Structure 1
């Protein structure tokens, strides 16, 4: 699993550490200090349109209020508490979330979360993933999952942060499918609605399309007809399936750009220019690749690579923030 960033306030002056943490989270939340002592330790990883965080913090509160309208976030967040107590929920209506419990929040809605001291697993999920799990997302903001109904989901989340560094990219689809199934069970213990089965099947079909594209990623002429032949999905069905992702051509572009991003994250490719890497992802050239990369991830390939290299050698808040921003952008 690809690591996005890690942050640890230990050994840093508390005021400076808080300023760094606040800047790190600036793209997603406003952070304020509480009267209790501040500390924070965070590690994060990227799966398939899913972000995973192992977090310990205290003396702070995160808020999303006015920024909800302007930042355009469109994903869900799960907070699963391991130790301590989280106070979180819709803005102004926080509830205590205790060990073994999970809180579901929708980034389209104002929210808040904070603690005097807490250790938790946080997962950011694309809306399509929640649809696959639940079938409808209108009433999920602030949903509280108790210890008993969320026990299996909790087991997966705890194990994920332990194994994250060892998971290969090929395992991501299996992990997200399992997460979808256990989240569905946690929210609907008696069985999910039929609509969620439809979205789940749609997700499996998208995975099949993605696998077909990735297997032929260097083929710049990969077409709709090729994908139809590789997957057995009809032409009309393919267009309907990928309409929420902006269409077939845009989905192919995203797969190519994710492949390119993986090369930019791989230090074995540091000696190769963008002009050399672009054809390996089926992109026509450096200029074309650069324009599309910035359009999709809101950062140029060159700046992304610099941030990735800095993150692996001498992490800075700016470098970590750039990488995180590009991952959050992908969830929209």
Structure 2
């Protein structure tokens, strides 16, 4: 079975830059740098990994704090510069990459990249795949990884780009694990025996509480008393567990909003906004709409329209464009 793929080339589009900006509209804000523009993107989807080979000129991508809050992206990306001029990092702290450098991005945090005649590889990996072997990867957001440690990782990414069509479908899941393992080698590990806050008992209680909430999120009657009883702790202990998250009620609301947002972005989600609101435990559609707008700046229906969610055709159907595939592929990382 062939690897699901698409190709975008600006020279074949009637609108050029506008078409490229629209391709990435669901994930980043794209701006022209003033230099002559050119773009070619070859995208490939594996199990739990996306690979993009890009040749860009005159392009800047950014994800400011408002964009990060609005999106539901929770994955990591790696950028390997093959040739050309490329800068990247936290907004205002971008660094120039040399040929062969790899930079790591945590998509839950603001970032900016600028490409001028750059040929580079981008790999997207789910958070759980990365953090299983590199639990502190987020600390390296916007960091150019140590050159002495990235040889194996760089070789693997280049080989994957060359041999992408030879990976058997049943073996594709191993590709993401291999990339994550090599990333763990590249960033190293913390010293053995390093303290990991919070205390283990608190962490275990919090994990139990979160699992209890996740399993009952659709119940509009879910409250602190129910959770405390369900995990056998007092309400005062429960309140302390969730104080960093703004409290138990706020945590539940945030989880419902996250699920609502993810569903609205998903290409195969056919439920109405009203049905989704009740399915995720909101007391009413109006309550859901107000909370959603406060959190993400748009009402649910408009958010769905702008992010391409609710599409009824299969993403693999002939004629489905690169933008639709991009949205669908990223949604499947979660």
TM range (shorter): 0.5 to 0.7
Paired position in structure 1 for 2:331? 329
The alignment partner of 2:318 has SS state of helix
Determine if contact 1:185/1:192 at 8 Å carries over to the other structure. no
Query: Within the alignment, does 1:80 sit opposite 2:88 as a pair?
Result: no
2:231 maps to which residue?
A: none
Contact 1:297–1:330 (8 Å) recurs in 2: no
CA contact (8 A) 1:296 1:330 kept: no
2:228 aligned residue: none
SS at match of 1:139: helix
Aligned to 2:322: 320
Does 2:40 match 1:41?
A: yes
Residue 266 of structure 2: which of 298, 315, 320 is its match?
298
Q: Give runs of ≥4 in structure 1 deviating > 6 Å.
A: none
Q: Deviations over 1:133-178 (max 9, x none)?
A: 3122341211211433101100000010111122122112221221
2:93 maps to 93
What displacement does 1:91 show?
0.9
The answer to whether the 8 A contact 1:304-1:322 is kept is no
Aligned to 2:179: 179
- Which digits, 9 at most, give the CA deviation of each residue in 1:15-60, with x for residues without a partner? x111110000000001001121111111111222221111111101
Segment drifting more, 26-35 vs 134-143? 134-143
Corresponding position of 2:197: none
SS at match of 1:309: coil
Aligned match of 1:6: 7
Alpha-carbon contact 1:105-1:141 (below 8 Å) kept: yes
**CA deviation after TM superposition for structure 1 residue 12, in Å:** 4.3
Name 1:257's counterpart in structure 2.
none
Q: Tell me, in whole angstroms, the C-alpha distance in 1 between the residues paired with 2:17 and 2:162.
A: 26
Give the drift of 1:75.
Answer: 1.1
Structure-2 change in CA distance of 1:157 and 1:331 (3 Å): same
Contact 2:125–2:176, Cα closer than 8 Å, also in 1? no
- Name the structure where helix makes up a greater proportion of residues: 1
Question: What's the C-alpha RMSD, in Å, of the aligned pairs?
Answer: 3.4
Match of 1:310 in 2: 318
Over 3 Å counting, the alpha-carbon distance change for 1:301 and 1:69 in structure 2 is closer
1:304 and 1:160 map into 2 onto residues whose CA distance is 32
Secondary structure of the structure 2 residue equivalent to 1:148? helix
Gap change, CA 1:301 and 1:142, over 3 Å in 2:
closer
Distance 2:74 2:108 in 1: 6
Work out the number of aligned pairs and report it.
239
Aligned counterpart, 2:27: 28
Partner residue, 2:71: 71
Unaligned runs of 5+ in 1: 196-238, 248-293
Q: Is residue 304–residue 323 contact of structure 1 (8 Å, CA) maintained in 2?
A: no
Tell whether the 8 Å contact from 2:48 to 2:176 is kept in structure 1 after alignment.
Answer: no
Partners of 1:48 and 1:296 in 2: CA distance: 22
